[in-house]
């Protein structure tokens, strides 16, 4: 999962080309001589997709192994160039955070922008690095991953207890918590299951 670029653009309702307000791109995985062309292509595709994203809507556009996710909020549009494996919900969560941060830092000044701004915006560069892991953008995905890790640790703990030489049978025999009837039920169930095993 990889994010190649993040852009913030001003979209004009009358249909002229959007203005790039901020952008950050990581083109290090491309060949050295391809990088300038890739940056130009990112700007071209970014403008094209932003221009065709209606106000207050989100869309995803597939291009080869990449997806361009776009979110237009009243003329302020955020785009992310990501690979196919980046979760869509995480992508739009990231774009929403980028726009919130942009409006917090610059307010409504973007409405008066007349030309592209290629000055680096440190937050966008940091976001490009930080959100390479989709769990950083999507809190539900992060919680799910933590639950999965906890489940793995729990299974490992139970396995390690049993690996220490303690058999479940001996634990049942020693347990003072189980009544005689429960111990008998365990033994009967074990016998019943043994006769039915398939070789």
Q: What is the mean pLDDT of residues 119-139?
A: 79
Q: Please indicate, yes or no, if residue 181 is contained in any of the structural domains.
A: no
Kindly tell me the sign of the dihedral angle through the C-alpha atoms of 122, 125, 126, 127. positive
Structural domain for 31, as ranges: 1-161
Number of domains within the chain? 1
Question: What Rg do the C-alpha atoms of the chain give, in angstroms?
Answer: 27
Residue 127, in any domain of the structure: yes
CATH number of the domain residue 136 falls in: 3.30.450.50
Is the pTM value of this prediction over 0.75?
Answer: no
* Domain-located, residue 31: yes
Query: Residue 175 falls within a domain, yes or no?
Result: no
Position 183 in a domain: no
Residue 146 lies in a domain: yes
Q: Give the confidence band of 112 by pLDDT, cuts at 50, 70, 90.
A: confident
> For residue 15, is it within any domain?
yes
pLDDT digits (tens, 9 = 90+) for 6-49: 999 998 877 788 989 989 888 888 888 888 888 888 888 888 88
Nearest to 4 by CA among 163, 176, 131: 131
Give domain status of residue 42, yes or no: yes
Q: How many other C-beta atoms can be found within 10 angstroms of the C-beta atom of residue 24? A: 21
């Amino acid at each position: 999962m990889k994010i190649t670029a993040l852009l913030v653009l001003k979209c004009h309702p009358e249909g002229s080309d959007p203005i790039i307000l901020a952008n950050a791109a990581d083109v290090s995985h491309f060949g050295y001589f391809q990088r300038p062309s890739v940056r130009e292509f990112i700007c071209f595709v970014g403008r094209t997709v932003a221009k065709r994203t209606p106000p207050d809507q989100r869309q995803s556009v597939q291009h080869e192994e990449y997806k361009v996710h776009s979110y237009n909020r009243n003329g302020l549009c955020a785009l992310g160039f990501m690979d196919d494996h980046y979760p869509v919900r995480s992508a739009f969560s990231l774009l929403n955070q980028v726009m919130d941060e942009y409006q917090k830092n610059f307010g409504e000044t973007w409405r008066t922008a007349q030309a592209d701004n290629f000055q680096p915006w440190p937050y966008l560069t940091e976001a490009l690095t930080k959100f390479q892991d989709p769990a950083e953008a999507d809190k539900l995905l992060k919680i799910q991953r933590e639950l999965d890790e906890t489940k793995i640790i729990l299974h490992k703990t139970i396995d390690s207890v049993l690996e220490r030489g303690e058999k479940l049978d001996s634990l049942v025999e020693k347990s003072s918590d189980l009544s005689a009837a429960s111990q008998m039920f365990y033994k009967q169930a074990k016998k019943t299951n043994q006769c039915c095993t398939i070789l």
